[in-house]
Amino acid sequence: MKIHEYQAKQVLATFGVMAPRGRVAGTVQEAVAAARAIGGSTWVVKAQIHAGGRGKGGGVKLCKDLKAVEAAAEQILGMQLVTHQTGPHGQRVEKVLVEEGMAIAKELYLSMLVDRNSKSVVVLASTEGGMEIEEVAAKTPEKILREIVDPTVGLLPFQAQRLAFGLAIDRIDPKLVNPAASLIAGLYEAFRAKDCSLAEINPLVLTGDGRVVALDAKVTFDDNALFRHKDVVELRDRSEEDPLDSEATDAGLNYIKLEGSIGCMVNGAGLAMGTMDIVQAAGGSPANFLDVGGTANAEGVEQAFRIITKDPHVRCILINIFGGIVRCDVVAEGVVTAFRKVGLAVPVVVRLEGTNKEKAHEIIDGSGLGARLVMADGLRDAARKAVSAAAGKG
């Protein structure tokens, strides 16, 4: 789950991570009032969407008087902001963050994420703040510092200190080494306590008046741990999500909309990815990734049908279920029932493998739904039949 920058800064502030003084605004008038309340003579107006690259897309403006704040808010609020992370359609800006301007002495990069290879948390830091870490890795990989954190022990003080010295903070202002190490420790504690999948500060800035500040912040959370964090769930902004993604989440389904014409309904993320690959290899294009989980019952299949068919580009649905935890005949009965309840207008190709596979074939073949619901013999056959049905060749 993603949250906005201003929300990320609020979360991190409870763990001692300092950010510029700022206020969120939903109207031009609120933006100007926010700048007045913050005080000073320089402000930054920043679009709040779940995507990076906002500055390059015109979503971040430096303002040196209140008239400029007003003009920036007028320009940004309501705009369809297009960045490298939003796709060509962009994202509508509903809120802006108005923050105090800062005298920046140095920009740094800091992030934390789960490293599945080492089964640990990895801290990444770089002196190249403000740049995308992928670009730094490609051009100057030697400028990326890595610190592996054993999750059973946590980030140790010497590791935070080593990162601070590795960023050469002592050469800029020796007095900022300890505050920087404390901020790194605070970010790790936030990452651990809130079950984050990513916590990124880019840039982390050293200011002319002797502060270490998170000028920008990005935090994402592990969806599987949200049941432990009701306060985090309350930060969810559904307006930023695809309606189908949101509906699927509420139904307990893992769904990602794609651009193809073959809807995929599969149990298991790995099998779902393999199914999409084989559809592509057969000349088709998947319309979605959808994992119904290990217990593909009639209710789950019905919900999945309803979500998939809300995509107007879907011309055929391919069901690929491995009957291990659940029997194939139970799945087949659920598919026939859900097919009739939803009143599907697109053909469905079913591939079932596992326990009671033969009974499942009998149920599908005897459903009376004819060519609208057909059984496949193996995944390759299923992919070919789905591609043919999506092309209208039946």
Q: What DSSP string runs through 3-68?
A: --HHHHHHHHHTTT-----EEEESSHHHHHHHHHHH-SS-EEEEE--S-S-TTTTT-EEEESSHHH
| Residue of 30, 12, 124 lying closest to 74 (CA atoms) | 30
Q: Is 240 exposed, middle or buried (0-12, 13-18, 19+ CB in 10 A)?
A: middle
CB atoms inside a 10 Å sphere around CB 290? 25
Of the listed 200, 255, 302, 333, which one is catalytic?
Answer: 200
DSSP-assigned beta bridge partners for residue 81: 91
Quick one: tokens of 180? Answer: 């920087």
Residue with tokens 């970010």: 187
Q: What DSSP string runs through 288-300?
A: EEEE--S---HHH
Distance CA(350)–CA(375), nearest Å, equals 5
Residue with tokens 């005949």: 329
* Runs of H (alpha helix) within the chain: 5-13, 28-38, 66-76, 133-139, 157-166, 169-172, 177-193, 230-233, 243-250, 269-281, 298-308, 328-342, 357-365, 379-390
Q: Is 200 a catalytic residue?
A: yes
Phi, psi angle pair for 355, to nearest 5°: -60, 130
| Residue of 363, 303, 302, 291 lying closest to 327 (CA atoms) | 363
DSSP-assigned beta bridge partners for residue 198: 113, 220
Distance CA(321)–CA(292), nearest Å, equals 9
Of the listed 5, 6, 99, 109, which one is catalytic?
Answer: 109
Residues designated catalytic = 109, 200
